[in-house]
Structure 1
C-alpha cells in the first residue's frame, strides 16, 4: 500500500463505532436539512459582512449524517497526505486507519461542521450532531444554525484569500511522512521524525490557532443573531471545542493541544481587530510571513511592531 493511513478503513471504523444520532421523524429531518442549507448561504453573507472579506470562488454545501461526515473528512485528509513513493511496510496503514477511525467516531458526535479546502472545496454540516447539541443547549434553532454556518464560512474566506495555507499544511505533512517510506514499520518512527521538525510544526500550530480564532471572533460579531449571547454562554460552558482539522492534525503530527485552542487564537485576533479593525487584520492573509510566530501569538503587540 502506498498510503500511510488506510482512510477507507478509518471511515468504515468510524461508521461502525459512531452512534447514528438523535431519532427524529423523516419530515423533521427534511426540514432540518433545508434549514441548514439556508443557514449556509446566510452564513456566508454574515461572514463576508463581518470579516470584510468576500468570496467569488464556487463551493459546495453538503448536509450529511455522521457516517457521511466521517467519509468526507477521511477524503479530506487523504488529499492532504502525500502518497508514499514506495510501498509502506507492515501494518502501519491498517493500524493508523483503525486508530484514526476511532478518533473520528468520537469527533463525529462533537464536531458540527467543517470546511474542506482539499476536496471540493466544500462545506460539511453534520446534521445529527448539530441537532443533538442544539437540543442539549436548548437554543433557538435558526440562530444556532446561522452561528455555526458563519464560523465555517469564515474558513472558506480564509482559504480563498490565503490559498498558500493548504499548501503549507500539505508541505508539512509531506516533510513528516515522505522520508519514512520504506524505513518504518510503526508510528513511533513518525514521532521521532517530528521531533526534528520543531520550526515547521510550530508554524502550523500558529496558523491553525489564528484560523480557528478568527472564525470564532467573526461568528461572535454577527449582530443579526438575537440569541447570540445565550448561545455563546451555553456553548462555551460545554468546554473547549476545536475543529476536526485541528484535532486530526494534532493526532497525526503530535501538535501541542494547548497551541491549537480556539481561545489562544481568538485572543490574538480580538486584540488586533479591536486595534486596527478587520480591514487591517486582513493583511495577515496576504503573505505567509504575515502570520504570527508562536511567541507573537501570545504577544500581539510584538506582531504589530514587526508588521507595521
Structure 2
C-alpha cells in the first residue's frame, strides 16, 4: 500500500471525462494492500467443494433448478478492483456524458479521488460477490462469482471463527444469489431497466423516484430471500455466524461507519433485515416454495408496503 502513489495518481487525472478511470483504478490499488493469494491445494479444493455443495443443497431445499457461473474466481483485493471498474464505469457513463463542470480539471481530480476511495474501501470489505453483469457491454457474457480471499481469511480471524467454516458460509450466501437469478431469468433485465431509467432521469436534471423505489424494493427482496435460503440450506450451525456478521455490518471505527453511510451500506443492511423478515413470515405461514413464488414473474415482487405487511402479499399473490 502506497498512499503517496495513490494521491499522485489522483492528482494526475486527465482526459475529457468527469472521471479518469485509469487513474481511479491505479489510485485505488495503490492505496489498498492486495492481500495474499497464496492458496494451498486444500484452499482450492475447499472453495470448489463449498460452491458445489451449496448448489446441491440449494437445489434440494428451494426446488430451484439453476447452475453457478463458469467464471468462479478467488481474487485478491486488486483483482476485485479490476473486475468491478468496468461496472462502475458503465453505470456512470450516461451521467458523465451530460455533465459540464465549471472547473473541469479540478472536478475531474475530485471525482477520480472519490471513485478511488469507493473502490478501495469496498475492495477491503467485500467477502464474496455474485455479479449478474448488469449493464454489461456483452449481454451474453457469463455471470461472475468472486471470493476475495484475503478478506475471507481476515474477517474469519477477526470474528474468531474457523476459516473453512466461514468460507463455506460465504459461499452459500453468494450461490443463493446465483439461484435467484437462475430462477428468475427476467430479474437482470428488470433491475437494468430501473437503473437505466433512474440514470437517464438524473442526466436530464430530474429524479425518477418510482424507478429508484422499485430498484430498492427489488434489491430488498433479493437480499432477504438470500438470507432465508442460506439459513435453510446451510449444513451447519450458523447462529453465531449470523450474530457476528450482523454486528460487523453495523460496527467498525468512526471512519468505517462514515464511509458505510456515505456509500449507502447502511441501506444494504436495512435491505437484509427487512427482506429477511418478510420472507421468514411468508415461509413460516406458507412454506419455502410459496416464498420462492416471488421469482415466478415480475408482478410477484412485493411492493414496499407489502414488505412491511407480508400478509398483504400472500393475499395478492396467493402462492
The interval holding the TM-score normalised by the smaller chain is 0.7 to 0.9
Secondary structure at the aligned position of 1:221 is classed as: helix
Superposed CA deviations along residues 75-122 of structure 1, whole A, max 9, x for unmatched, are 334455665795754446764443232122112222111111115301
Q: Residue 261 of structure 1 corresponds to which residue in structure 2? A: 271
Q: Is the 8 A contact 2:278 2:310 kept in 1?
A: yes
Q: Residue 186 of structure 1 corresponds to which residue in structure 2? A: none
Aligned pairs (5 A) from 1:83-162: 83=94, 89-90=100-101, 91=104, 95-118=110-133, 120-162=142-184
Task: Tell me: CA distance 1:275–1:31, structure 2 relative to 1, closer, same or farther (3 Å).
Answer: same
The structure with the largest alpha-carbon Rg is: 2
Superposed CA deviations along residues 214-237 of structure 1, whole A, max 9, x for unmatched, are 111222223522x42332232223
Where structure 2 has 5 or more consecutive residues not aligned to the other structure, the ranges are: 1-14, 134-140, 252-258
Superposed CA deviations along residues 170-226 of structure 1, whole A, max 9, x for unmatched, are 222322333565x7xxxxx5xxx23xx11111111111111111111222223522x
Q: Residue 136 of structure 2 corresponds to which residue in structure 1? A: none
The CA distance in 1 between the partners of 2:74 and 2:154, in whole Å, is: 15
Alignment pair present for 1:20 and 2:41:
no
Q: CA offset at residue 251 of structure 1?
A: 6.9
The CA distance in 1 between the partners of 2:314 and 2:194, in whole Å, is: 26
The CA distance in 1 between the partners of 2:18 and 2:191, in whole Å, is: 16
The CA distance in 2 between the partners of 1:280 and 1:261, in whole Å, is: 20
Q: CA offset at residue 134 of structure 1?
A: 0.8
Q: Residue 280 of structure 2 corresponds to which residue in structure 1? A: 270
The CA distance in 2 between the partners of 1:38 and 1:124, in whole Å, is: 15
Where structure 1 has 5 or more consecutive residues not aligned to the other structure, the ranges are: 184-188, 242-247
The CA distance in 2 between the partners of 1:39 and 1:203, in whole Å, is: 33
For normalisation by structure 2, the TM-score amounts to 0.77
Alignment pair present for 1:163 and 2:185:
yes
Alignment pair present for 1:36 and 2:58:
no
The structure showing larger relative contact order (alpha-carbon pairs under 8 Å, at least 6 residues apart) is 1
Q: Residue 294 of structure 1 corresponds to which residue in structure 2? A: 304
Q: Residue 199 of structure 2 corresponds to which residue in structure 1? A: 177
The CA distance in 2 between the partners of 1:99 and 1:8, in whole Å, is: 14
The CA distance in 2 between the partners of 1:219 and 1:3, in whole Å, is: 42
Secondary structure at the aligned position of 1:124 is classed as: strand
RMSD over aligned Cα atoms? 3.2
User: Alignment length, in residue pairs?
Assistant: 285
